[in-house]
Amino acid sequence: MNKVGTHIVVDAWQSPADLLNDPERIRRALLEAVEAGEATLIDMCVHQFSPHGVTATVTLAESHIAIHTWPEYGYFAADLFFCGRGKPEEAMKILRLALQAKEFKSQQIDRGFPGVRANTSLQGVA
Amino acid sequence: MNKVGTHIVVDAWQSPADLLNDPERIRRALLEAVEAGEATLIDMCVHQFSPHGVTATVTLAESHIAIHTWPEYGYFAADLFFCGRGKPEEAMKILRLALQAKEFKSQQIDRGFPGVRANTSLQGVA
């Protein structure tokens, strides 16, 4: 397999509802996660839903982080997709710590494609 | 399991490099995918890398879509995470069609948490 990135899929629960419903806390946690993951921020969108719930997407030079919270269930879903550089596990630890999830499930998916690398008509490929 | 959303993880290859390196084409494909998926757009970031490659994150009321392309390999990775409403499979078809991937692998992950729903201190929960 030609692996291009590591994707950590996180489901976490038993988090305090007030943390999961605090967009500024989540924004700070994401910025801390980007730093801990040694990633490069391109853009971030943090959105609060009514009556509750926060969703955020972080565009990185390394790919993305996304988080969606359900305060009413004490649950959040997070995705950390890092290509090449960066430390997605470290970023994940920050999110878990910041949102104080007592229960946590994560799986790692190697992203990429099988076989011989094709389509090399472009120049300047690393 | 208390399922809150469906996450489709896509790896696709043998796509034309010029499509994978065209941020406007990818932006249009994402907007078409949002419409086909009957989702609600909150925000979108489309970023072109130098010398090539495009990354995009789409924040939805239903969660998110993300896509990252490697034109030099004819490869793209896409994630379509939809909670509740929406048709992520339809959105996925649009992306595949728009980027003309000859090879395609997708897996569906049910997102959520086990056991009894806890933490119902918030009001107005559906």
Query: CATH for A2-105, among 3.60.90.10, 3.90.700.10, 3.90.550.10, 3.30.70.380?
Result: 3.60.90.10
Counted residue by residue, chain A has a size of 126
Q: Which of A17, A77, A105 sits opposite B119 (nearest CB)?
A: A17
pTM for this entry: 0.92
Rounded to the nearest angstrom, the minimum Cα separation between A49 and chain B is: 8
- For residue B1, the one-letter residue type is M
Counted residue by residue, chain B has a size of 126
Instruction: Express each pLDDT in B82-96 by its tens digit.
Output: 998 899 999 999 999
- CB contacts of A13 in chain B (<8 Å) are 113, 118
Q: Where are the domains of chain A?
A: 2-105
Chain B nearest-CA residue for A49:
B61
3-state secondary structure of A93: helix
Instruction: Express each pLDDT in A72-114 by its tens digit.
Output: 999 999 999 999 889 999 999 999 999 999 999 999 999 999 9
Q: Which of B103, B81, B107, B101 is nearest to B26 (CA)?
A: B101
- CB contacts of A4 in chain B (<8 Å) are 70, 73, 75, 77
- The pLDDT value recorded for residue A23 is 98
pLDDT at residue B119 greater than cutoff 60: no
Helices (H), B6-115: 17-20, 23-36, 88-99
- The pLDDT value recorded for residue B85 is 81
Chain A nearest-CA residue for B114:
A13
Helices (H), chain A: 17-20, 23-36, 88-99
Lowest mean pLDDT segment, chosen from B49-53, B83-87, B99-103: B83-87
Reading the block at residue B14, the tokens are 């043998």
